[in-house]
């Protein structure tokens, strides 16, 4: 069954008496070329298990199931069940879960021991919570490939010094190698969204950063970008960590050779990490 066709998708929706739901971010992919680009970026082999978020009509699910050992796919909209029975019935390595992905217990959804990858044409209204849930979750992931709004991909991959560099850039690059694998126009979806899209590829890094410094790191990033117009000295004076006062911050500036007069948007990910570790060491 070739779902990568506007005609087939319109016919399926009409025959099942369905309309796309804007409130659930339903923009269905109808283009074979985009489909191939997403799946190729994920480099899936039969040894991989894949999680998909947002099954939709099953276009991406089918392509994933053809290449992976197995696919677990989560869809919130139960009214799509009759369509999926039709579009996925010939594939045996798909486990369909109906429910809100943000409420699924991840350890149950992604049993340990498999090589997990995540591939999804994301519902754009919950992109950030989905990303953080996966990256901070209990299961190690090999690679994550997402179709996201272009601006989100640009922020994810931004380097220090520009307007797009912010909390999302630092938090993702702290954990992953971040790459934008190409832009995608609105015309490849039904209905076309109002924004351009991009393929975002996240490859988790081997963890060397101490787990106990994560909380401090998060606070430093949040505070630096909540007050992004202020200098680091001013922003971090509002850090609200009970053992960090002017003396500890002075030690950051002098030991790590960071200029207290710069803004957070000029600080590299490695520098944020170094500050977190330095402050944590002073608590002990």
Contact residues: ligand SAM, CB under 6 A: 24-29, 53-57, 59-60, 74-77, 100-102, 121, 123, 126
Minimal distance, residue 114 CB to ligand SAM, in Å: 20
Report the residue number, 9 or 167, with the smaller CB distance to ligand SAM: 9
Residue 28 or 272: which CB sits closer to ligand SAM?
A: 28
What is the secondary structure of 21-68 as a DSSP string?
-GGGT--EE--HHHHHHHHHHHT--TTEEEEEE--TTSHHHHHHHHHS
> For ligand SAM, which is the closer residue by CB, 4 or 220?
4
Question: Is there a contact between 101 and 146 (Cβ–Cβ < 8 Å)?
Answer: no
DSSP annotation string for 142-155: EEEEEEEEHHHHHH
Cβ at position 54, least distance to ligand SAM in Å? 2
Can you say how many angstroms the Cα of residue 264 is from the centroid of all Cα atoms in its chain? 22
Residues near 254 by beta carbon (within 8 Å), at least 6 away in sequence: none
* Identity of the residue, 39 or 249, whose beta carbon is nearer to ligand SAM in the bound complex: 39
Least separation in angstroms between CB 6 and ligand SAM? 12
Among residues 29 and 275, whose Cβ is nearest to ligand SAM?
29
- Residue 36 CA to residue 189 CA, distance in Å, equals 15
Token reading at 51: 């999680």
Min dist CB 101 to ligand SAM, Å, is 4
| Least distance to ligand SAM, CB of residue 198, Å | 14
Instruction: Please report how close the Cβ of residue 27 comes to ligand SAM at its closest, in angstroms.
Output: 5
Nearest alpha carbon to residue 173 among 199, 202, 146: 202
Q: In 45-190, where do the E strands start and end? A: 48-53, 70-75, 94-98, 115-121, 141-149, 176-184, 189-190
SS3 125: helix
Compare residues 100 and 212 and give the one whose CB is closer to ligand SAM: 100
């Amino acid at each position: 069954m070739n779902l990568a066709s506007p005609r087939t998708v319109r016919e399926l929706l009409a025959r099942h008496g369905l309309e796309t739901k804007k409130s659930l971010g339903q923009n269905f992919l109808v283009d074979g070329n985009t489909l191939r680009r997403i799946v190729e970026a994920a480099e899936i082999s039969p040894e991989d298990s894949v999680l998909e978020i947002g099954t939709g009509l099953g276009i991406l699910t089918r392509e994933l199931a053809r290449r992976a050992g197995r696919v677990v796919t989560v869809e919130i909209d139960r009214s799509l069940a009759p369509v999926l029975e039709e579009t996925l019935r010939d594939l045996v390595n798909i486990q369909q879960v109906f429910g809100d992905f943000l409420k699924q217990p991840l350890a149950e959804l992604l049993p340990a021991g498999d090589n997990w990858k995540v591939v999804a044409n994301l519902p754009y209204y919950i992109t950030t919570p989905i990303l953080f849930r996966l990256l901070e979750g209990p299961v190690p992931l090999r690679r994550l490939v997402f179709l996201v709004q272009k601006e989100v991909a640009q922020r994810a991959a931004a380097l220090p010094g520009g307007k797009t560099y912010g909390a999302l850039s630092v938090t993702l690059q702290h954990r992953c190698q971040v790459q934008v694998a190409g832009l995608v126009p609105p015309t490849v979806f039904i209905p076309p969204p109002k924004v351009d899209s991009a393929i975002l590829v996240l490859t988790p890094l081997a963890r060397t950063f101490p787990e106990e410094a994560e909380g401090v790191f998060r606070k430093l990033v949040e505070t630096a970008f909540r007050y992004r117009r202020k200098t680091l000295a001013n922003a971090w004076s509002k850090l609200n960590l009970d053992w960090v006062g002017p003396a500890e911050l002075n030690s950051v500036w002098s030991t790590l050779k960071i200029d207290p007069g710069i803004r957070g948007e000029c600080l590299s990910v490695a520098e944020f990490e170094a500050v977190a570790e330095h402050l944590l060491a002073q608590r002990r």
